[in-house]
Structure 1
Amino acid sequence: MEEALAEAEQERPDIAEEGGGKAVASMPRPVWSGSLSLGLVNIPVKAVPLFREGRISFRMIHRKCNTPISFRRFCQEGEEVQKDEIVMGYPLQKGRYLVLERSEVDAVRPESSHVIELDRFVSFFEVDPHLFDKTYLMIPDRSEKAYSLLRLTMEKTGRAAVGRMTVSSRERIVLVHYYRDAVVATTLRYPEELLDPSPFPDLEGLPQPSSRELELALEIVDRLTGELDLHRYRDGYRERLEALVRSRMGGPVVEAAKKPRRQAHDLMDALRRTAQGLEDEKAR
């Protein structure tokens, strides 16, 4: 994918006002076009970010004149720096850098590619989800028949295709897989980028729970186990922020929600209280 993909990812869905003062978010648009390459088969596609960014974007503006704030670059000596005066510095130690020209760094960047090269199929559940980065919906681009075949094959087999692509001048691993009657592509982080928890001293020598504490904890988990329904969880801050924007467009003023501070309890006491609360709820 090209540099435009990285720029498009940074865009936030602005709240726009329709007739009647209703605020809506714009629909996502393709940020890349190319093809999925599987041997001699090429499937032209367009990529759309699978996620709508939940945040509301704001621009910093000057209260006095209502114009956007712009930024200038200054070095630590207080001098303003022009773009052509900036070089790349690789930190060696505090206050010391290996200086590289931007042209030297650009010379080793991979060229942007319009092809996602797929070379292996694996079970989707074989992939560590902690490596997942960003996911894009792949839309057929005058390739409906080949796209449909790939989609059905992935659905029937439960397999995902692993390949490579170039995003923002970075070579990335890509997992192309089936999702809700569509084909999507998820960029993966390299395994060496994943943090290993074992060196953290705070995780060493943790106290061993008592058998009764473990018994109560297992009981709580058992009582709270159920079907996954993420629609139960809401982004309260975003909803209040959207309501605030709407109210300033012409509506009631929204009061900030206050959440009472929870008191800390002894672990065993908290376990007992939770288990008892679940038991009482079950008896109703």
Structure 2
Amino acid sequence: MGRKRVRYQWFRDIPRNVTYREYEQFQMRSFGAFSLGLTAAAMAIVSGLGLTLRPAQELTEFDAISIAAAIEAGSDRPDPVKLEGYLVAANPPTMPDDAARRVIRGRLQIAARGPADSEEPLRETLFLWEETAAPVFLSDGDRRIPLAFDLAVLPMEDEDASQPVPRIVWQGDSARTSRPVAIEYGDQVFPLDREVWGSAESVYIDLERQVIPQGQAVVVIAKVEATPQGNQLADPLGDRLQVVFGTEDEFRQQGQQLRLWFGLLSIPLGLASVMVGRSAYGLWQEFVERSHQ
């Protein structure tokens, strides 16, 4: 006899004698096996080809020079070069919520937000501070060279402040009648606009805090430009300016660690794909038998 094929209920588009719930379980297992297998294959390819090392390898394509050599260069160098050092400023701004936190760039925003499921979501920006130091230099600890490109290319990173913690100020005699009236952050209180919030019963706080700290280690790909005031690092032609946070050794180690983890994780994911796939196949065989009853 030939191999049995599943018989469908044409009006329900599922195998005969099979419930929708059972058929959905089969579909979920099939999709899970496919997703796990695809992820495992992708991670194995990335690890095998060493794609996680590419960003660090791209940095090796540029000639490395010291900050001292860049300062003493006699004329413009048309080709971009690689320098490693720390971002510093003579008068770096301080974060408004932490006077000890000096930054090259900083941003702090406090906003009040209403429930997302409301018909007209409410949002009010209560405080916004953003500042960039000027001028900014690349330093090796002893000498420094100014950065003459737009510092907006430097990406800020999210940073959580240990203190203070924003809290809601409530007004009312009881839990049933109390309403949010302000947001307190540190020693500052930001009242909520009653025309915006009306009689809102709840409010959520969105706190965005981003920084580039003073002394951030970076690798810079830029052009050494000679000026009457001295050499500086400028944006080279061809959109080749790069600023990478961290040292080149750290960047290379991160790529190696990712390659190792991708290779290791692809094995259990592949095995899981096979197990889930076998389970789906076994369930399908059961459907075949039941459809012939």
Q: Same fold (TM over 0.5)?
A: no
TM-score tier, shorter chain, comes to under 0.3
Q: For the pair shown, which has the larger CA radius of gyration, 1 or 2?
A: 2
Structure with the larger strand share? 2
